[in-house]
Structure 1
């Protein structure tokens, strides 16, 4: 949403918006001239919009609850309402588009693609799902209208990505998720099948090894993976808490790529990014430079403290597969440190659907601090609390606590390797944790 908001600002429109809570991102949007309020109150909508329904476009996401007062007022009073995904489809339809989809990995991969291309001098516009550390934004604006390449994160939630008709598509994962929307995994897979069928004639699909969507597109399909596929790694090793590797591709090898943002999953993401960059004409040398200079995305394997005494990393992971990938990577980088994990579950439905998977993935911790569920768009579900995960976690050291209790608990534990994990408002704890660990 904020990337789209920035597109409108860059093109001279007047904007205002609502969000549930204030965050560093909404602070940034306000500093860029967008009026943002945080109470569901019709009177807080600026008068210039309320007075001009025919000249006002309302862009919304499925995260807005059905009983939202402002949303229902605007819907009932002649305003034009469009889903975020519909607007994104309109904005990208006239560009050569690279779309990155997947239940995990799409934000980092799309950000990597955008950086490699921009660093190589390509004319790029990008709509991303996270704040890139290289540019401090989730929106990159193109320079002029010639030879523009649009990089877009294609979101499977609520089938949003079906508004896109890309030229090149990456699919990083199709694990079961959003079952509150889809019902079961087969329905989710059906959406991915429909999505890849929309690749434009002459385009390409790049799919992670183990995924099989080639029968659903008439275009060429290539596979990427850690050790197998048309695009794959060789000689992967850890050096000074960084992952270094070679990328093997059909026409050669790119040697000694190193990631500032570590993680086995991020190595895989970089292979996919390299594949599409090579396809649009970026040289192997420029691909390597782009990978080696990619600083990552906020809240994706983001270091906040990195010293001899303590390492503190934050990550957005909110699905068992993501948590397992993240924690296993952290342990590979720091095998001799005790790992303390603070996890905030996201959504009652997701917690209920994947409770066994969450418990298993969290057992990679040496010491677990489990917070209450962050509800986001959902109302409570009877019998669904963090306890249904907690009771299944087979760890000697585990604690169930509220968000308000975390700081005192972390201070008492004096961790040597700490990670915070989750997609809710756990990020609001980061400054205080960082200050406490440094102090």
Structure 2
């Protein structure tokens, strides 16, 4: 198969540097099922890397050059190197590839080439994009539309972050659903036919510097929608003047597409979706949350555009089981609730905790939060304090550094001092588990984008 910017270069081997990332692993799977020899490096073994190995992909955890399979090294012209910007400078394999004439491209560039050949739905937003893109993919798949999807999370319905389309001799009929990531401006490699933008809140300021620069990047993204395409934009965002696409807005309760008759029955959200052609009544979502109702409105708008019937949308949303680490229940009994969520931005935490409060009125909420990035903690400390104060009790962990070095004065203790509730404490991971053994708990939620998810199984065992 030929795949390159100019359509002339044919690769036989594809090597991923950072293959264990959620977006990288999805792309690796695509190449693997399409007949390429695939291998890669990542820093540590994870459930994702184990799955890749089970699918026949060779993964190494040492950046030594001799860990790269020999056929890849022996053929620079026939080997594509795909990397993630999260790989640090000085990576030995990357230095070797660059010095020896290998074709080296970012994941986002390669994904852009693939999606240009297919009818593409791009789902962007500083939060909400993973759930919304997985909803779109599920609605299309459950309605019998031939689609492939590159997602930023593991879907509960399919157990994967990558959906492969059915083989066809009419590739122009395939719909590609792709999570369009604003980090490092990756989504500017995409030219979708249809796009959703869920949010443009300030985030990734370590990359963009200022919110206005981030907004300019989103404006550039919607400006790349293909002629004749449609932008489905959350009502109130300032993007419509940057695109020639038809613009339709949506939100929880206003816009061309919106919910109505929203209520909670037996800890589940029930609602109608109002759209320009009518109303889809009595949708019962297994996945809770006001923000997920809004995501469902956006996904349904695209599905309607692509010809999915209202009946298939109702049944599809009813059977949608969500994404791992997005409002994921680990315990759900009358006496005890444990929910894990990826929320790592103040707006996400606020939406999540308000939904939990609505689902379980009058019950005591213990929030366990691991901040992600020193820069994000610094930039949004006041906003984090407000959103975390929506819980009744806060158990705060140290900052997960990810790609950053420590910053003077930026600590979890600094954040804890700003939180206004009285029942709050800073803990190590080890002390957290001991604390949960001794505390009386009711509803417990774990929040964060670092490695807090590795503790959830132990927390469940304790509770």
Do both proteins adopt the same fold according to a TM-score greater than 0.5, normalized to the shorter chain?
Answer: yes
Q: Which one of 59, 66, 78 corresponds to residue 36 of structure 1?
A: 59
Q: Match for residue 140 of structure 1?
A: 163
Q: Match for residue 98 of structure 2?
A: 75
The alpha-carbon deviation at position 11 of structure 1 amounts to 0.8
Q: Counterparts of 1:38 and 1:374 in 2: how far apart (Å)?
A: 21
Q: Match for residue 8 of structure 2?
A: none
Q: Deviations over 1:38-87 (max 9, x none)?
A: 33333333333233322221111111112323322322222211101001
Q: Which one of 319, 335, 355 corresponds to residue 381 of structure 2?
A: 355
Q: Which one of 236, 240, 243 corresponds to residue 269 of structure 2?
A: 243
| Maintained 8 Å contact 2:188/2:221 | yes
1:95 aligns with 2:118: yes
TM-score by length of 2: 0.92
SS at match of 1:26: helix
Give the 5 Å matches for 1:347-386: 347-386=373-412
Q: Deviations over 1:182-218 (max 9, x none)?
A: 1100000000000001000110000001112111111
Cα gap change, 1:40 to 1:370, in 2 (>3 Å): farther
Once the two structures are overlaid, the 10-residue window that deviates more, 30-39 or 6-15, is: 30-39
Once the two structures are overlaid, the 10-residue window that deviates more, 49-58 or 271-280, is: 49-58
Q: Match for residue 330 of structure 1?
A: 356
SS at match of 2:35: coil
Give the 5 Å matches for 1:95-114: 95-114=118-137
Q: Which one of 405, 412, 424 corresponds to residue 438 of structure 2?
A: 412
The CA RMSD measured in Å over matched residues stands at 1.2
1:302 aligns with 2:328: yes
Q: Match for residue 216 of structure 1?
A: 242
SS at match of 2:151: strand
Q: Counterparts of 2:336 and 2:237 in 1: how far apart (Å)?
A: 38
Q: Deviations over 1:398-429 (max 9, x none)?
A: 11011222211112114211111111111111
| Maintained 8 Å contact 2:350/2:390 | yes
Q: Match for residue 226 of structure 1?
A: 252
Q: May I ask how many residue pairs the two structures share in their alignment?
A: 437
4+ long deviations beyond 6 Å: none
SS at match of 1:78: coil
Q: Match for residue 141 of structure 2?
A: 118
| Maintained 8 Å contact 1:23/1:428 | no
Q: What are the ranges of 5 or more consecutive residues in structure 1 without an aligned counterpart? A: none
SS at match of 2:258: strand
1:158 aligns with 2:184: yes
The alpha-carbon deviation at position 336 of structure 1 amounts to 2.2
Once the two structures are overlaid, the 10-residue window that deviates more, 178-187 or 372-381, is: 372-381
1:339 aligns with 2:362: no
Once the two structures are overlaid, the 10-residue window that deviates more, 16-25 or 197-206, is: 16-25
Once the two structures are overlaid, the 10-residue window that deviates more, 404-413 or 71-80, is: 71-80
| Maintained 8 Å contact 1:104/1:322 | yes
The alpha-carbon deviation at position 373 of structure 1 amounts to 1.0
Q: Counterparts of 1:313 and 1:217 in 2: how far apart (Å)?
A: 39
Cα gap change, 1:378 to 1:68, in 2 (>3 Å): farther
SS at match of 1:54: helix
Q: Deviations over 1:100-130 (max 9, x none)?
A: 0000000000000000000000001000000
TM-score by length of 1: 0.97
| Maintained 8 Å contact 2:257/2:275 | yes
Once the two structures are overlaid, the 10-residue window that deviates more, 398-407 or 354-363, is: 398-407
Q: Counterparts of 1:275 and 1:117 in 2: how far apart (Å)?
A: 12
Q: Match for residue 219 of structure 2?
A: 193
Give the 5 Å matches for 1:249-260: 249-260=275-286
Q: Match for residue 48 of structure 2?
A: 25
SS at match of 2:237: coil
Q: Match for residue 62 of structure 1?
A: 85
| Maintained 8 Å contact 2:436/2:462 | no
Q: What are the ranges of 5 or more consecutive residues in structure 2 without an aligned counterpart? A: 1-23
Once the two structures are overlaid, the 10-residue window that deviates more, 377-386 or 103-112, is: 377-386
